[in-house]
Amino acid sequence: MNAPLTAASPLLTLDVGLRALFAPRLAGDAGAGWAHAPGGRSKVSGMDDPTPSSNIADTIFRDLRRQILVGELAAGQRLPGERDLASTYKTNRNTLREAVRKLEQARLVTVRHGQGVTVSDFKKTGTMDLLSPLLEAGGSLHEVIHILEDILPAREQVLEFATRMAVRRADRSDIERLTGITDLLITAFETKDGALIGKGFHRWLEALIDTGHSTAIRWIANPFLDAYRDLLEKYPALWVLEGSFPTYLRETINALADGDEERAILASRKYYQRVDREFVGLLKSVIQPEAQPQP
């Protein structure tokens, strides 16, 4: 890659992460440092349930979804009949149908009475909801990298938009909340513990999005946050955190407090362009190792 990194600010754990990304699941949890703050949420318990999903229908749903997302079941192809599928999965038709209903709702198949179930072309008709399951499905390396390359600029757009709205609509309590998380996060950054920082950054992003006070932003950002969280759980060591990470956080907070929209956008753009450039470069060097540059 063209732009050399400052020796003092290497990409944190990136190559470890890349190796982990396509390797069996890693165990490990980096302590309870980022437990939920006692926010004003209702009795909604939060997303800290381990979700064992011993659910048969759900298991089948996930399996079929995976098969579709990695291309084992191609678009336009017809699924076996419900009776056949049920016996394949050693269950009954009712349970199997629940799985099919979920596939249908996820736009992965279309069901027509008398004609069977056909796989949809999810690349055409899907939505960002598929991002997390797609990364989780882990198709071919090439495929995943292509999708990621595609997603990264979109993510940057979303983040810029979220940042913009946050600057416009932040109130005092938003800024306090974000400042608090930022301080914790910068402290955590010193530990170089990828999983811990990852969780903290997730909270930071959530707070930033909340600060926009916009349902639209939340809805756009949620699939990205989901994908982030899922990947974080699977590959705690993955997170690409460039050396300027604390600077980015501070710049954003300061611009937020000053109401300086352009400065906040600039900080975001600068940071993510850096990170993404490195990330894409590394991804490409995984595909074509001969093109790998000298450090």
Partner DNA sequence: ATGGCTGAGCTGGTTCAACCAGTATGGCTG
Partner DNA sequence: CAGCCATACTGGTTGAACCAGCTCAGCCAT
Residues 70 and 72: their CA atoms lie apart, in Å, by 6
Which residue in the block uniquely carries the two structure tokens 């390359």? 149
**Does the protein bind a copy of itself through residue 177 (CB under 8 A)?**
no
Q: Which stretch binds a copy of itself (CB under 8 A): 10-18, 176-184, 214-222, 240-248?
A: 214-222
The option from DNA, a copy of itself, none interacting with 67 (CB < 5 to 8 A, set by class) reads none
Three-class SS of 94-144: HHHHHHHHHHHHCCCEEEECCCEEEECCHHHHCCHHHHHHHHHHCCCHHHH
**Buried b / exposed e along 174-194 (16+ C-beta atoms within 10 A):** bbebbbebbeebbebbeeebb
**Does the protein bind a copy of itself through residue 131 (CB under 8 A)?**
yes
Nearer to a copy of itself by C-beta: 14 or 99?
Answer: 99
Nearer to DNA by C-beta: 84 or 262?
Answer: 84
Cβ contacts of residue 48 below 8 Å, gap of 6+?
36
Identified binder of a copy of itself from the candidate list 66, 202, 218, 263, rule CB under 8 A: 218
Q: Which stretch binds a copy of itself (CB under 8 A): 26-34, 116-124, 230-238, 247-255?
A: 116-124
Q: Which stretch binds DNA (CB under 7 A): 48-56, 61-69, 171-179, 238-246?
A: 48-56
Q: Are 109 and 117 in contact (CB under 8 A)?
A: yes
Q: Per DSSP, what are the bridge partners of residue 118?
A: 78, 110
Residues 226 and 61: their CA atoms lie apart, in Å, by 18
Give the orientation angle of helix 194-211 with respect to helix 215-234, to 10 degrees.
170
**Does the protein bind a copy of itself through residue 157 (CB under 8 A)?**
yes
**Does the protein bind DNA through residue 115 (CB under 7 A)?**
yes
Q: Are 195 and 235 in contact (CB under 8 A)?
A: no
Identified binder of DNA from the candidate list 9, 94, 125, 187, rule CB under 7 A: 94
**Does the protein bind a copy of itself through residue 46 (CB under 8 A)?**
no
Nearer to a copy of itself by C-beta: 40 or 295?
Answer: 40
Residues that bind a copy of itself (CB under 8 A): 42-44, 57, 75-76, 94, 97-98, 101-102, 104-106, 118, 120-121, 123-131, 147, 150-151, 153-154, 157, 161, 165, 214-220, 222-223
